A and B are shown apart, each in its own frame.
Chain A
Amino acid sequence: MTSETLFHVQQSERQRAGRLKDRIFCCTVAGCLAGGADAVRDAIGREVEQRGLGAEVEVSGTGCMGLCSEGPLVRSSASDSIHTNVIPSDAPAIVHGSRPGALTPDHPFYAGQRRIILANSGHTDPERIADYIAAGGYHALLRAVTEMTPEQIVAAVRRSGLRGRGGAGYPTGLKWELVARQSSPVKYVVCNADEGDPGAFMNRSVLEGDPHRVLEGMAIAGRAVGAHQGYVYVRGESPLAVARLRTALDQARREGLLGERIFESGFNFRVDLRIGAGAYVCGEETALLASIEGKRGQPIPRPPYPPERGLWNQPTLINNVETFANIPTIVEKGGDWFASIGSPSSPGTKVFALAGRVARAGLVEVTIGSPLRKILYDLGGGVPAGYEFKAAQTGGPAGGCIPAAHLDVSMDYDSLQSIGTMMGSGGLIVMDTSTCMVDIARYFMEFCREESCGKCIPCRAGTVQMHDILARITRGEGREDDFLMLEELSGLLRTASLCGLGMAAPNPVLSTLRHFRNEYESHIREHRCPAGHCRMPAVRVSTEEVPA
């Protein structure tokens, strides 16, 4: 594809869309599909056909529109509104435009969001590359290849202040610079799409809803650091994401947007897929690289870091899906524009997967630094009536809990760290008073125990010991010295583990010990679970009433 064809496709695609009276977008991402979105789409398609509106109304699939708990969602572009809880029999009313109760962009769930990564969701069909181009896609790649030097691209990313969205928050520009500086002729770009945190579905939704954005980001990265080969390492548990990526890759190759001589320049960039086989530890970068090489996904000690020696011992740039998804916008609008959004120390937006005991669950994209209260109450609609907020969990098994006292915390990397949790990849799970925090700590420890790769002893044995203690406490057999033992083991895992999995495994325990120590005390001293969740034998008669 040349630059002229790119503009031509964009023009003709826009004209085609302009001739349509309405374009009806049906969410075709995992959440809504589980709720029967396929049948809804078929019904609307049939309705359009039966009424002979085929020339004026188009029915398309689209990416995640966010409000997953009220899916299947259907968006009408004519009225710019979103229908919720759609069933197939709603098709006539939707095509006619008379179904009441559709949400408009000023609905609190949408008004509080700032969409950069999810900008195309609800507006383009992830299975049509022309849609992505019409929305301005691959224009950033064109600029990066024809107008910018690799140094200029790296400088733009540095200026943007973008930090890695996988959880650790390492400055992306610095990482790019490190890889670009290596003199090796062979380098790799790897997209970490092994989103394994339980309760997190941001990356999966981006891949299912806008796969070209990620591929474009990777190609720009390849140009910036001097790599000609990229890999997307995607979770095997997300078959739809794999399928959408395959489709997108085929299209981009066919259009010459990936492959040899992109935009008739000397720049070549191929992307291949690698499908994971279910191992949480493969989200750790060195384990991920081992897995791409067809080995057991076990981490190796760093340094050397992958930017120096990574895949097949060559310099390798590894970024998360969401990090790459930010790149096209940064190249197009400039680093300074991006740096002006969000908080100065962590600019940009972050996608959170809001779930648990909250009225409106789903995917939200907000500027970094938004207060937690705004996300939970304005966007999420708060905790449903009859329940009481207890804590929000971020960062999955490596993160911690935010208690009610910190509801106004600014959701950015540093503020979250200061209260003992972390941004993580974006899972945000709301818990009410019926959730036992000791049991949640046990749940995450069980997860880490199961997922520990077994290479280093602190993690392999430490998670077993910590889980045993926590399980004992939830059975009502806790001992006074368990506090000390948990803290000691936590310190050991943090300092002596080989990789991030083991180092972060104690975080949920430390965080719940910090904010909910009283619950541990009730379990151990009174053999009582304040949340009424843990079933314990009545060993000791307590004078206090046991809640039902």
Chain B
Amino acid sequence: MNEIKGPTETKGPEKLLEEVMARHHYSGDALIEILHAAQLFHGCLSAPLLKEIARKLRLPPSRVLGVATFYHLFRFTPPTKHTACICIGTACYVEGAADLVEIVRRNGWNLDAVRCSGTCGLAPLVVCDGVTLRRATPAKLEDYLRSAAGPV
């Protein structure tokens, strides 16, 4: 099993998704894997895309939509430019993660929350566009968000 890679110049997202579906023999059992791949290639799960997947896998569209909306990791709108993901696991919450939420909102970043990123030794944790801030404080986060966003 190879690591799934994103779209390249030679292969568009449609082609890549088709390959993943073929690898799973267009089986409904693999719906979650296929949705993961569809989101990776297309950025988000749009309504036409979900319908197309349902058609290819010979599943009722309600089943595909039902599964896609059940799980937190699937999104239906394109990701925004800057995203800050705040961990609100217990350790991070106890160490004050709730105070960080407001800071992210104020700076106009897209706010994402994860229940536990498994790095509790360094709580509270914020991942800003893939960069991890450990032992984040409101001041530290504010500084980082301002400097990282740059001129809009």
Contacts and interface: CB of A to CB of B under 8 A. Distances in A.
B139 interface: no
A215 to B, nearest CB: 14
A294 to B, nearest CB: 4
A431 B72 CA distance: 29
A283 to B, nearest CB: 12
A200 B117 CA distance: 9
Contacts of A431: 94
B120 A355 contact: yes
Interface in B63-98: 63, 66-67, 70-74, 88-91, 93-95
Interface residues of A, number: 57
A238 B88 CA distance: 15
Nearest to B125: A34
Interface string B117-149: 111111101000000101000000000000000
Nearest to B114: A237
A291 B68 CA distance: 12
Contacts of A393: 90
A246 interface: yes
Contacts of B31: 294-295
A197 interface: yes
Contacts of B72: 277-279
A207 to B, nearest CB: 10
B102 interface: no
Given A68-B122, A198-B89, A355-B121, A294 B67 contact: yes
Interface stretch (B10-18, B32-40, B103-111): B32-40
Contacts of A30: 117-119
Nearest to B115: A198
A211 B27 CA distance: 28
A386 to B, nearest CB: 15
B74 A237 contact: no
A294 B118 CA distance: 26
> Which among A34, A68, A201, A236 has the highest number of chain B CB atoms within 10 Å?
A34
Contacts of B71: 276-279, 297
Nearest to B29: A294
Contacts of A121: none
A273 B1 contact: yes
B44 interface: no
A249 B114 CA distance: 28
Interface residues of B, number: 39
B28 interface: yes
Interface in A196-229: 196-201, 204-205
Contacts of B121: 31, 67-69, 71, 355, 361-362
A275 B33 contact: yes
A353 B134 CA distance: 17
Contacts of A291: 32
Contacts of A355: 90-91, 120-121, 123
B47 interface: no
A275 B32 contact: yes
A238 B114 CA distance: 11
A205 to B, nearest CB: 8
A280 interface: yes
B9 interface: no
A377 to B, nearest CB: 17
A391 B120 CA distance: 17
A35 B134 CA distance: 7
Given A35-B122, A294-B30, A443-B93, 16 more contacts: A68-B122, A69-B121, A197-B116, A201-B118, A204-B118, A249-B1, A273-B1, A279-B70, A292-B29, A295-B67, A356-B120, A357-B95, A361-B91, A396-B90, A427-B90, A453-B70
Interface of B: 1, 3, 27-33, 35-36, 63, 66-67, 70-74, 88-91, 93-95, 114-123, 125, 132, 134
Interface of A: 30-31, 34-35, 67-69, 71, 195-201, 204-205, 236-238, 243, 246, 249-250, 273-280, 291-298, 353, 355-357, 361-362, 393, 396, 427, 429, 431, 435, 440, 443-444, 447, 453
Closest 5 pairs (CB-CB, A-B): A68-B121, A277-B71, A355-B120, A201-B118, A199-B90
8 contacts: A30-B119, A71-B122, A196-B116, A198-B88, A275-B33, A294-B27, A294-B28, A429-B94
